[in-house]
Structure 1
Amino acid sequence: MKKLARKDYKNRKKNVKFVKTYKILKSFSKNYYLTKNTRWNANLTLTELPKNQNKNRLVNRCIFTYRKSAFRQLYSISRIVFLKLARQNQIYGIKKNVW
């Protein structure tokens, strides 16, 4: 798990570094008021950026278990941890429903 945490931290740190460049180049490539040559160069430099640092490649993971499947966006934890904490009444406002 420590390895996944380190890898995720490193990927997010690299992503922050390339976000500004990516947005600027993307806006240049979509701007039709610029010359064709400028837009072409923007597209070329976009293809040269590392693919792993794209924001779409980042994976949301649970804080406790680093699971990526059944991830709850609101609480940033996985389904299993959410159920365990809900049963122990450690999440405010969540209570097990009994009929």
Structure 2
Amino acid sequence: MFVRIRAQRVHSVVCSRAKEQAKRNQVMLENQVKQEMEKRIIAEQIQKEAVLLEAESNLPDEPPESCGDIITKIRFRLPKEETVVRRFHFTTPLKVCSHWSPLL
């Protein structure tokens, strides 16, 4: 009888330790996933900033309004009925003009 009670206690202790270990493992796994997500978000932000910086550096200066016929105006409609107009030199490639849109 004593052996049986002792075996039950040992079994109970082993089970509770296993549960505690499983909880610790779960917490560690959740922390790892959280850290990986944070790293991924930071990497995405860095990449977005790099794209914006490159677009900004490749964007030519806006020609003055007095240039007349040698400029092209591009107008963007933003939320809240706001519009943004940017002038480009007539010879500026469309690809360069398209790099301007992420800067809005």
Q: TM-score range by the shorter chain?
A: 0.3 to 0.5
More strand by share: 2
Task: Give the TM-score normalised by structure 1.
Answer: 0.33
More helix by share: 2
- Which structure has the bigger radius of gyration? 2
Task: Give the TM-score normalised by structure 2.
Answer: 0.31
